[in-house]
Structure 1
C-alpha cells in the first residue's frame, strides 16, 4: 500500500445558515450528536480532551482520543485526532467564513500519514468519511426541514 505523505483531506462546503448556527452545530454536544458523533462531553476550549468510539459497522470500533488545540468562536476549531493504542496523531480543522445567512466551512485533516499502514486508517476512508459528514450529515442537519 502506497502512502500519501502529507496529503491532507480537504472538504469545503457553503451552507445556507449563519456562522452562529454552524458554530453551535460544531461545538454543542447536544447538536453534535444529531449529525456527528455522540460525545459524552465537549467544550470548544483549548486543552479540552474528548473521546468517542467509531469504526466500520462490521469491524473494529476504535477509541478516538481528541484534544482541542484552537478555538476561535464562529471562525476556527482545531483538535488533535488519534486512536487509543495506535501510533500517530493527526489534526482536524474547521474554518468558517461567510456573510449573513451563508457560511463556508473548510475542513482540513492533516497528518493522516502518521497512522499505521492498515486499511481502516487509509486516507481514502478519511476522505469519504469527511465528505459524507460535511456534504450529507451536516448539510441535512443545518438545511433540512425541521
Structure 2
C-alpha cells in the first residue's frame, strides 16, 4: 500500500554518536522532539506513553521499543490511545565522512484509518516528520 509508509532521508553535520544521543537521550529528546516525554530508554521492550495536545485534541502517544542497535538503529511501535492502528517508526544511522545520514521510516500508517481520522493522514505525518528532522538539524547545530 503506497499510503502505508513514508521515508525521509536527511544528512546531519554531526557524528553518528551525536545523532544517536539526540535520538535516544530523553533530556535531549525533550529539547527537539517531544517536551512531554517523561522517560525513554533505547532498550528492546521499553514502553512509554505521553499526551500531546493538538488543535484541542489529546493524542496519547504509546511507544514500545522493538529494536535498538546502538549507533545504528532505533525502532518502536507507535500507537495512539483511543484510536485504531499500530505503526512502526525507525531511525537508521549511516556515518559518512564525519556526517551522518539518517533514514526515518514510518510504516503502518493506513492502520490509523485516516479516512475516519484525518488528523492521522499520511500528509500530516509527512509534515510532522519534516518538522522534526529540521528541528533535529537545528538542535545538532546549536553550540
Alignment TM class, shorter chain as reference: over 0.9
1:59 and 2:56 correspond: yes
When normalised by structure 2's length, the TM-score is 0.92
Q: How far, CA to CA, are the matches of 1:132 and 1:108 in structure 2?
A: 15
3-state DSSP of counterpart to 1:14: strand
- Equivalent in the alignment of 1:130: 129
1:75 and 2:78 correspond: no
Q: Structure 1, unaligned stretches of length 5 or more? A: none
| Count of paired positions | 140
Q: How far, CA to CA, are the matches of 1:55 and 1:81 in structure 2?
A: 16
Q: Structure 2, unaligned stretches of length 5 or more? A: none
RMSD: 1.4
Q: How far, CA to CA, are the matches of 1:106 and 1:55 in structure 2?
A: 27
When normalised by structure 1's length, the TM-score is 0.90
Match runs of 1:15-26 below 5 Å = 15-26=12-23
Q: How far, CA to CA, are the matches of 1:86 and 1:118 in structure 2?
A: 8
| Offset of residue 52 of structure 1 | 1.8
State the 4+ residue runs in structure 1 displaced beyond 6 angstroms: none
